[in-house]
Amino acid sequence: MMINCITRPVRILTAALLSTAAAADDRWAIRAAAYVDSSGELRKGALIIIDGGSISSVAVDGESAGDLRIVTYEGAVVSPGLIDVHAALGADGQLSERQSAVQPQANARDAFDRYHREFGRAARAGVTCLGLSPDDSNLVGGRIAICKTSGADGGPYVLSDSGPMKLSLSPAVFRRDREPTSRGGAVAMLRKSIEPAWGARTVFVATPSGADVLTMLRMARDYELKLVLMHQVDVRGVGVEIATAKAGVIVGPLGWSTSPRVATAAGLLEKKDVAVAIAGGLPAAAADSLRLGAALAARNGLSLAAARRAITSVPAEFLGVADRVGAIEKGRDADLVIFSGDPLDLRSRVLAVYIDGRLVHSVVDSRE
């Protein structure tokens, strides 16, 4: 009964083919009404040819696909798999060592739990990739690991364990039982620990206040770091500085209780030409919080294209895996989510999810 009411309006012609689409090592294609292109716009007519787990070409619909097997989703929109840029999926509370505030040698890969059921739930909501990231409680939290929510053998896996370094200037860093105890001390410790080579040039920094932003912008200049600012509530005061320094910004997670002030931040940054990603905050937030966040930002001034990019290509770029995921382009992994409409429209449903060309979720399967 429940399944029926979800899938009632879904019209899929080749439902029977779906079950065989699971094999990753052949050439086949997905046809749909539209797809999200790399600029974030919806482009009408999609014929996406997949070869061995990655996208082999993106053709305009109507072109002949030869004798390829084609899975057709009529009226549907194909989106790149959604990417939660800063998540703790399957490792909530396990990603930061509290004993010392500086942990450059820590790597989120080591807290990755591939058997955790949260990955499957995220995948079903269209989240195919995420930055498994230390939280804000350490000055230097450790390396972020980029994970896929499912893989060739059916389980999630680590795509890259050399993601950006996570830094934080949040109040959570300052505790009574360890260093640092002041902002000045924190910045001094940070400078000292940046000196040795981390291997990571990109850093994600939690900078709750405008003053933290300015501090980090200075440091980024001194040490030639590529900066991505996050958990930044007040972008109004320092938007120009962020834009001049060409730093990226992660907004969110945005939820039902987000204030108008926070919800409008993404739109304001876009007007200043700042690259904006929207975090989903899994698992503390619900599995579909990425789309909710993007929809909220879109209703508060972010353009629709930028809102779609903010949960696909921009996070991929921030995480340093843009050559693999985040866009529907030749050579990228075939991480695709089939929505019944625009992914930003909360009325749209997830019809199917492919990761590395392999079908990991389909509402049609459950009807059969």
Partner 1 sequence: MRPTALKGATVFTGNGRIIRNGTLLIQGGRVSRVGKDIKTPFLTKGISARGKFITPGLIDVWSTLALRSGGAGGHALARAEDAFDRYATHEINAALARGVTAVYLPARGTSGIGGLGAVVRLKPGAAPQEVLVAGEAAVCATIGIDATRGPLARVKEVRDFRKRWQTAKDYREAREDYEESLEEYEEKLKKGTDEPGKGEPKKKKTGAGAVAEGDSIDGPPRRRPRRGGKTDQPTSKPSEKKKDGPKKPKEPPRDSQSELLLRVMDGELPLRVEVHRPQDILNVLEVAREFNLRLIIEGASGAHLVADKLAEADVPVILDRPAASMRFDSGPRRYTVPDAAARLIEAGVDVYLGSGPHAPTRRLALLASQRVGHGFDQEAALKTITSGAARLLGIEDQLGTLARGMPADFVVWSDHPFKPGARVEKVYIEGVQVYRADSEP
Binding residues vs partner 1 (CB under 8 A):
1-2, 5-6, 8, 92, 118, 121-122, 255-257, 259-261, 264, 282-288, 292, 295-296, 298-299, 304, 307, 342, 344-349
CB 303 to partner 1: min, Å: 8
Phi, psi of 365 (to 5 degrees): -55, -40
CB 182 to partner 1: min, Å: 33
Find out whether 187 and 219 touch, Cβ atoms under 8 Å.
Answer: yes
Nearer to partner 1, 104 or 280 (CB): 280
Nearer to partner 1, 163 or 283 (CB): 283
CB 302 to partner 1: min, Å: 9
Find out whether 28 and 21 touch, Cβ atoms under 8 Å.
Answer: yes
Nearer to partner 1, 243 or 346 (CB): 346
Alpha carbons within 13 A on the beta-carbon side of 209: 7
Nearest residue to 245 via CA among 227, 231, 232, 230: 227
Q: Where are the alpha helices (DSSP H) in the chain?
A: 2-7, 118-124, 183-194, 210-223, 239-244, 260-263, 265-271, 289-299, 304-309, 313-319, 363-367
Nearer to partner 1, 187 or 279 (CB): 279
Nearer to partner 1, 268 or 322 (CB): 268
Nearer to partner 1, 210 or 320 (CB): 210
CB 113 to partner 1: min, Å: 14
CB 203 to partner 1: min, Å: 27
Find out whether 47 and 64 touch, Cβ atoms under 8 Å.
Answer: no
Q: Which two tokens stand for residue 218?
A: 């200075």
Q: Which two tokens stand for residue 269?
A: 């940054």
Nearer to partner 1, 316 or 363 (CB): 363
The sign of the CA dihedral 34, 35, 38, 41 is: positive
Question: What one-letter code names the amino acid at 339?
Answer: F
CB 346 to partner 1: min, Å: 4
CA–CA dist 72, 60 (Å, integer): 14
CA–CA dist 45, 37 (Å, integer): 11
Nearer to partner 1, 186 or 297 (CB): 297
CB 239 to partner 1: min, Å: 15
CB 253 to partner 1: min, Å: 10
* Cα 350 to the center of its chain, rounded Å: 17
